[in-house]
Amino acid sequence: MLTRNDKILIFSLVSVASLFFLRVFLISGEGSEALIKVGNAPVQRVSLRMDRTINLEGEKGRVILEVREGTARVVESSCLQKICVNTGWINKPGQTIVCLPNKVLITIEGKKSSKADAVSY
Amino acid sequence: MQELWREDKYKNLRFVEMGRFRILIFSFLLFFICGCGNKEYSRVDFLMDTVVEVKVYHGNKAEAREAIDSSIEEMKRVEQKMSSFVPGSEVSRINKEALFERRSASDLREGWISISSELFSLLEESVRVSNLTKGCFDVTIYPLWKIWKFEGDNVEIPSKREIERALGLVAYKNMILQNGKIKFGKKGMGVDLGGIAKGYAVDCAIKVLKEKNVKSAMVNAGGDIYVLGKKQGKPWRIGIRHPRKEGEILGIVDVEDRAIVTSGDYERFFFSKGIRYHHILNPRTGYPAEECQSVTIMCKETTFADGLATGVFVLGPKEGMDLIESMEEVEGVIVDRKGEVLISSGLVSKIKYANQK
């Protein structure tokens, strides 16, 4: 005994539900973006789908970020200890590269794979 | 006439059915609104020589942002006051004053330096941790810390003579706290709150968030973490870093209203002639402590957790675990020098190993 209105209601209900489903599905898509924070500047978003190198002006000099085939790394940094360079490639959501002397933080965005909200270290 | 009446009846029926659909839709909408009511807001910043993150779950965007900004400002304030690296900080002022020859005879005899009540309380708390850890945590480590130069780009270890000289000045029992004043027993003594101030800053930030009516939040200052309330109805899941495998987790604990702090030998170090020297110095020997790889403390206050993690790291796995077990509401994980993992009795059943999932 469905009228036209009922059908419209059911249709809209289903589409709203699928929208929510789609949203959850899209967000959990594996690390497709990197968030870059340099000093006190606002966070920049960089897609990992396009290969390129990015020059960042850190506190003590240049930090060069390389993006290739969905992963990212710091190729070169003006810091002394090179912890950022030695971190190597990152591509999983939640992974980070930090260069403290230059105040550069690179985080892969997406649903965290480690299942933890934060890590104590 | 009868037919018409029937139609009317059905119309009414349909109206009732429509009503049911509406209720269904409204309840769906209500469900989604409730679910999305508290959104996640966060800010990352470089503070206290590390990466600091404040995360808040809140229903109002402007209020959440304001609370986060205030809490980060609060941590900056603490850093500007408590850091011995910041030239104008109160701690730097004390360390400088302690070096000065005093002109008036009474000052020289007395040697008291007035300090703020905030610093006084933090120093008192430091002494409490020192007493518990038999001096393995010691804020008067400053003269030793100064010659190791971990804050700079050091590549050389201090000489034995330098270390012996500095060790003669390290003793929290020679630091006297009385009536809002501090006095050092020897000239050249000083304080460095590096082992406790980060935790204190986290507690201060949480206090600000609570004042701003935030009920669910996490403050993470370079792995020194406090979680306030629950995260969207569930406990927060905090991982403990594997001390030897970068990016890997030793285990996960579900927590709420708790501080979790880890001290590890992997955090800050330098190599000299192929030997690695890390930043947790033993105030007894003058060299980096070697009994543990990492120590994680869970308790109610980040300040205490921070100091205790450092103290237990120096104290060593056996005495350290005994100390943890002797205290109420304090739990811990110790990884000893061989990589063996010790877990306090209250935590054994609660910790989930990362590889068990």
Q: pLDDT value at position A23?
A: 60
* pLDDT-derived band at B153, boundaries 50, 70, 90: low
The three-point CA angle B198-B261-A118 to 5° equals 100
Q: Which amino acid is at B348?
A: V
Q: Tokens 């270290």 appear where?
A: A121
Chain A residue numbers with beta carbons less than 8 Å from the beta carbon of B249 are: 114, 116, 119
Q: Which range, A66-80, A81-95, B17-31, has the best average confidence (pLDDT)? A: A66-80
- Out of A10, A39, A116, the one facing B249 most closely (by C-beta) is A116
Phi-psi region of A82 (alpha: psi -120 to 50; beta: other; left: phi over 0): left
**Does residue B302 register a pLDDT over 60?**
yes
How are beta strands A118-120 and B236-241 bridged, if at all? parallel
Task: Determine the pLDDT at residue B266.
Answer: 87
What is the CATH superfamily name and number for domain B84-184?
A: ApbE-like superfamily (1.10.3980.10)
What mean pLDDT value characterizes chain A?
84
Give residue A109's pLDDT: 85
From chain A, the residues in CB contact with B231 under 8 A are 117
- Using the CB atoms, write b or e for B311-327: b if 16+ within 10 Å: bbbbbbbeebbebbeee
Question: A88-92, B99-103, B173-177, B308-312: which range is least confident on average?
Answer: B99-103
The residues spanned by each domain of chain B are 84-184, 235-353
Give contacts of B 63-122 with A, CB under 8 A.
none
CATH number of B235-353: 3.10.520.10
- Helices B302-315 and B197-211, interaxial angle, to 10°? 160
> ∠ CA(B102), CA(B107), CA(B139), 5° rounding?
80
pLDDT at position A111 is 64
A117/B270 Cβ within 8 A: no
pLDDT at position A28, please? 46
Segment B96-107 shows an average pLDDT of 65
Task: Give residue-wise pLDDT tens across range A34-46.
Answer: 999 998 888 889 9
pLDDT at A30: 55
Q: B29 falls in which pLDDT band (50, 70, 90)?
A: low
Q: Is A114 on the interface with B (CB under 8 A)?
A: yes
pLDDT of residue B141: 96
Whether residue B4 has pLDDT greater than 90: no
Q: pLDDT tens digit string along B40-88?
A: 999 999 999 899 999 999 999 999 999 999 999 999 999 999 999 899 9
pLDDT tens by residue, B193-250: 999 999 999 999 999 999 999 999 999 999 999 999 999 999 999 999 999 987 788 9
Q: Which of B44, B267, B357 sits opposite A37 (nearest CB)?
A: B44
**A120 contact B CB<8A:** yes
pLDDT at B10 over 80: no
Confidence (pLDDT) at A95: 85
Q: Do A118 and B239 touch (CB under 8 A)?
A: yes
- Is residue B28 scored above 80 in pLDDT? no
Highest-pLDDT range among A35-44, A104-113, B301-310: B301-310
Does A60 or B137 have the greater pLDDT score? Answer: B137
Query: Which letter, b or e, does each residue of B116-154 get, where b requires 16 or more Cβ atoms within 10 Å of its Cβ?
Result: eeebbebbebbbebbebbebbbbbbbbbbbbebebeeee
- Site from B17, B46, B277 to mutate, A interface, most A CB atoms within 10 angstroms: B46
Rounded to 10 degrees, the C-alpha dihedral A75/A61/A87/B340 comes to 160
For B99, which DSSP code? H
Looking at the complex, does the CB of residue B265 fall below 8 Å from at least one CB of chain A?
no
Instruction: Give dist(CA B336, CA B294) in Å, integer.
Output: 7
Among the partner-chain residues B25, B246, B247, the one whose CB lies closest to the CB of A13 is B25
CATH of domain A31-108: 2.60.320.10
pLDDT tens for residues A8-59? 888 888 888 777 766 655 554 456 889 999 988 888 899 998 899 999 999 8
Mean predicted lDDT score pLDDT of chain B: 88
Q: Residue range B183-193: average pLDDT?
A: 93
Nearest to A114 among B46, B239, B246 (CB): B239
The alpha carbon of residue A70 is apart from the nearest alpha carbon of chain B, in Å, by: 19
Asked if residue B103 has pLDDT above 50, the reply is: no
Tell me whether domains B84-184 and B235-353 share a fold.
no
ipTM tops the 0.90 cut: no
Chain A residues with beta carbon closer than 8 angstroms to that of B224: 120
* Mean per-residue pLDDT, B132-146: 95
pLDDT in tens, B53-63: 999 999 999 99
Q: Which of B12, B28, B51 to mutate to test the interface with A (most CBs of A within 10 A)?
A: B51
CB-based contact, A24 to chain B, within 8 Å: no
Quote the pTM value: 0.82
